[in-house]
Amino acid sequence: MIEPLFCNLDDRSIVYRSVSDLFGVCTYFLVDQEKVIIVDPGRLSEEVYHWLEQFKAHKKIIYLTHEHFDHHYDVNKLLAFENTAAFSISIDFEQAIKCGRKNLSYYYNTPIESVLSKQTEFNFFEIIVTPGHSKFSVCFMYKNMLFGGDTVIEKENLVLKLPGSNKIDYKESIDKIKNLTSKNTIVLPGHGNLFLFNNWFKISNQ
Ligand SMILES: [Zn+2]
């Protein structure tokens, strides 16, 4: 299912979400007149591909919040389409999403080797480097939205025990993000529902 979440009144861009059958990863689609930004394409349904057909002429730009395979399961498939490219955070990140042990797919017997075969230099997001949940976690800021990945996420979805997790790094990342994010920001997390940064900030400060 693909659901519209809200419309940004200043530029009329619309944000949609689809929740994957694989670990409930949230994929977000930010659509305006000329582009579709896709954040964390997990395993997408046929319905989503069908829905995307209406944006044939739009540029599609893919962003990934971190290296775990459930968040980039369909990247290779999407990059095979025309007019589609990914934004790469770093060469190290590209190596991690290619490596089954680093992207964790090896441990789930579903080997995923994602390759950012088509890349774009254009960046629409402010990138906040936030290691902790994983070595290469980042969050993306866009207007009053924060794509939180598995980093800014409700407590019940927070995991800091995976290979590559680091609790000390996580704490530093959270301090950093608290300094950079205004409290009325809407968080679009990698799993679970949207929430206001202010509410999350209060709870995680307790
Ligand atoms: Zn993760």
Question: Would you list the domain boundaries of the chain?
Answer: 2-204
- Res 98: pLDDT: 98
Please report which confidence band the pLDDT of residue 200 belongs to, taking 50, 70 and 90 as the band edges: confident
204/134: higher pLDDT:
134
- Distance CA(125)–CA(105), nearest Å, equals 27
Rounded to a whole number of angstroms, the distance between the first and last alpha carbons of the chain is 36
Superfamily, domain 2-204: Ribonuclease Z/Hydroxyacylglutathione hydrolase-like (3.60.15.10)
Whether 145 contacts 186, CB under 8 Å: yes
73 CA from centroid of ligand 1 (Å)? 12
180 CA from centroid of ligand 1 (Å)? 22
pLDDT single digits (tens) 112-137: 999 999 999 999 999 999 999 999 99
158 CA from centroid of ligand 1 (Å)? 9
70 CA from centroid of ligand 1 (Å)? 7
Could you identify the residue written with the tokens 């480097």?
A: 129
Please report which confidence band the pLDDT of residue 183 belongs to, taking 50, 70 and 90 as the band edges: confident
153 CA from centroid of ligand 1 (Å)? 11
Phi/psi at 13 (5° precision): -80, 150
Buried b (16+ CB within 10 A) or exposed e, 148-179: bbbbbbbeeebeeeeebbeeebbeebbeebee
- Distance CA(109)–CA(188), nearest Å, equals 29
Q: H-type helices in 25-89, by residue range?
A: 46-52, 75-79
Q: H-type helices in 36-166, by residue range?
A: 46-52, 75-79, 91-98
Please report which confidence band the pLDDT of residue 195 belongs to, taking 50, 70 and 90 as the band edges: very high
- Distance CA(194)–CA(61), nearest Å, equals 22
185 CA from centroid of ligand 1 (Å)? 22
- Res 205: pLDDT: 62
pLDDT single digits (tens) 8-24: 888 899 999 999 999 99
Please report which confidence band the pLDDT of residue 206 belongs to, taking 50, 70 and 90 as the band edges: low
Whether 100 contacts 113, CB under 8 Å: yes
Please report, as a single letter, which amino acid is at residue 160.
L
> What percentage of residues in the chain have a pLDDT greater than 70?
98
Distances (CA, A) of 9 to 13, 14, 39: 7, 9, 20
Residue 32 has pLDDT above 60, yes or no: yes
